[in-house]
Structure 1
């Protein structure tokens, strides 16, 4: 029997930023299926810190209904007329935080799609045709085939979901800055993204330092593979103690306010890199004294590329890496729980929304 797309998609949406912790189940018009698009029946979706920023209005007033979610795992149920990526009906695929770019500029041609001027994020941004993108807290999802990747069989869907954004976002600066054997790598912020950074850096062969404000997460960090733990609030002289130590530090904290950029450069080797993947509130600013940057670079990393996503999935598959993930059933109640607990920091260390069939078959 031939598959027929539903006329309306269903999702759990934010209707008012002021009431963002009380999302509602809605129906909405899907975007047109273009020649190189695929349609995905969503199985599960990770909950990212970006979802909280967007839902709460930290990133401005976004088009409603706002269906967030950009760590999508599902099954291909429809192919556009000219799809040629090799994806087939029935394939299990993942989609991250980017759904569109021009695919023709030098950046796109060199595996830097996240830095394309034509970048469209998975939810809350208009496509060139004017459609406001809708994310993965929904029963179905449409996307250009380029931005969907097959999921290896040995990675369970609920563990694959957080790799699509959080995992890829921390993997990209690791691989682009030489994380590997004989390198000393620090991960600042042991949360949903940072805990993945520890797992990946260790699997890549680096000597790994977990860096947090207090020692509350020390036991977890060591279980995740950290070789060392630094509690910056409990070791006031840590910048001196670890002078000339790091080849790379990746800042995974959701806010940069508590990161002392006048101390961190002292811990770097000459030629070392400090890379932030943080996307904080719009009004947050960075303060540092430029004379402290002697032979050290500070930069920001966006999402990883599709090529890097494929490499990350291979790393996770071959090393049997298991993220720390708690599942929550999708629905108004489930999304509310996820939002409230994420807002309180009550997560060790990632949520994935599941049971889509039970909710959207109603």
Structure 2
């Protein structure tokens, strides 16, 4: 076994502590990665706090991982020692079902293996990127382009692909009007990516406090959703709305902003159920959809797209001792726009 240093929680209300975890010895197709940076995702907080169901504690979160290959298994062909690589929200899947065969491993019919809070094919619990090392099969590792700094690359492995995937799938591009709900870690990436794709982008946020940033990131317009006139003024405007917030909102109000045949896609995952009045959809043949990250092939495509268009998240690098405070600040919307842990401080 390989021993790694980590930061773990022992329950939904406990602080992070120093820990040592075991990583498996390399199988023939495995890659050992020395983690340099790990992003903090809202999903980490939901899971650490036990809000998405039962958790097998102790838990090491983190699925936005960037680092270097330090060792490879005997049959690895895709990577070599020294390569700049990343790991996102999953570390394995069955590889055989129709969805996996299509390169949509995130929708594996047998269930993909999440980077943390899951169980791998060896029957061992998975632990995430708030650690110094991780072992992953090469098929679930992606290459980080040279012109993306490793600290900025980490959030792309979740925030980047979570927004890139629906924008691409629903055809964001020239001639399309796209609205992004929320201007947090996911939202600011959605604005940057949609703009780079050629769409006309509008931000819908609770207040105008981040308007200057939104326009800088590529939005044409920015509206406060606390203002009821926003929904009157923008009624029937958007071809596509990407909802990035992990909170319960008035879905029918946002459906009213869609054009004929428009689609609202939820990528935020609130713990509470969302209420929908079907008449908000059928009146204009509108669609309500969901999207979850992307497959490995699309994740690599996203990284290459971001490299080509010089897209990177706006981050705040923190030490491992600041994780608990970072969680509090995320919940208070006090971050612009993604915390990234320098794992050398673990």
Q: TM-score band, normalised by the shorter chain?
A: over 0.9
State the match for 1:254 in structure 2: 246
For residues 270-301 of structure 1, the C-alpha deviation after alignment (integer angstroms, 9 at most, x for no partner) is 221110001222xx111121112131110110
State the 1:327 CA deviation.
Answer: 0.4
* Maintained 8 Å contact 2:8/2:19: yes
Q: In 2, distance between residues paired with 1:79 and 1:118? A: 26
Match of residue 11 from structure 2: 16
Could you tell me which residue of structure 1 aligns to residue 337 of structure 2? 349
State the alpha-carbon separation in 2 of the partners of residues 320 and 241 from structure 1.
33
Report the more deviating stretch, 52-61 or 86-95: 52-61
1:74-98 C-alpha deviation (Å, 9 max, x unpaired): 11112122223x2111101011011
Whether 1:213 aligns to 2:206 is: yes
TM-score (norm 1): 0.91
Shift of 1:203: 0.7
Equivalent residues of 2:38, 2:340 under 8 A apart: yes
1:32 positional shift: 4.4
**How far does the alpha carbon of each residue in 1:325-358 deviate from its partner, in whole angstroms, 9 at most, with x for none?**
110123xx2222322322322101101111x33x
Cα contact 1:100–1:118 (8 A) shared by 2: no
Corresponding residue to 1:104 among 90, 96, 99: 96
Residue 17 of structure 1 contacts residue 61 of structure 1 at CA under 8 Å; is this kept in 2?
no
Aligned twin of 1:181: 174
1:1-362 pair list within 5 angstroms: 7-19=2-14, 22-84=15-77, 86-116=78-108, 117-234=110-227, 236-255=228-247, 257-258=248-249, 260-281=250-271, 284-294=272-282, 295-330=285-320, 333-354=321-342, 356-357=343-344, 359-360=345-346
- Give the Cα separation in 1 of the matches to 2:22 and 2:301: 34
Distance 2:318 2:115 in 1: 21
> Are 1:44 and 1:158, in contact at CA under 8 Å, matched by a contact in 2?
yes
What is the CA–CA distance in structure 2 between the aligned matches of 1:68 and 1:342, rounded to whole Å? Answer: 15
TM-aligned CA deviation for residue 122 of structure 1: 0.5
Structure 2 residue matching 1:323: 3-state secondary structure: coil
Q: Match of 2:179, SS?
A: strand
How much does 1:243 deviate?
2.6
Segments ≥4 residues shifted beyond 6 Å: none
SS at match of 1:250: strand
Determine if contact 1:198/1:221 at 8 Å carries over to the other structure. Answer: yes
State the alpha-carbon separation in 2 of the partners of residues 18 and 48 from structure 1: 18
Residue 311 of structure 1 and its aligned partner are, at CA, apart by: 1.6
Q: CA RMSD in A?
A: 1.4
- Can you list the C-alpha shifts for 1:232-262, whole angstroms capped at 9, x where unaligned? 211x14333223211100000111x12x222
In the superposition, the TM-score normalised over structure 2's length comes to 0.95
Tell whether the 8 Å contact from 1:125 to 1:132 is kept in structure 2 after alignment. Answer: yes
How big is the shift at 1:16? 2.1
Alpha-carbon distance, 1:141 to partner: 0.3
Counterparts in 2 of 1:7 and 1:109: CA distance versus 1, 3 Å: closer
- In structure 1, the gaps of 5 or more residues are 1-5
- Measured in 2, the distance between the counterparts of 1:338 and 1:266 equals 35
Count of residue pairs the alignment pairs up: 343
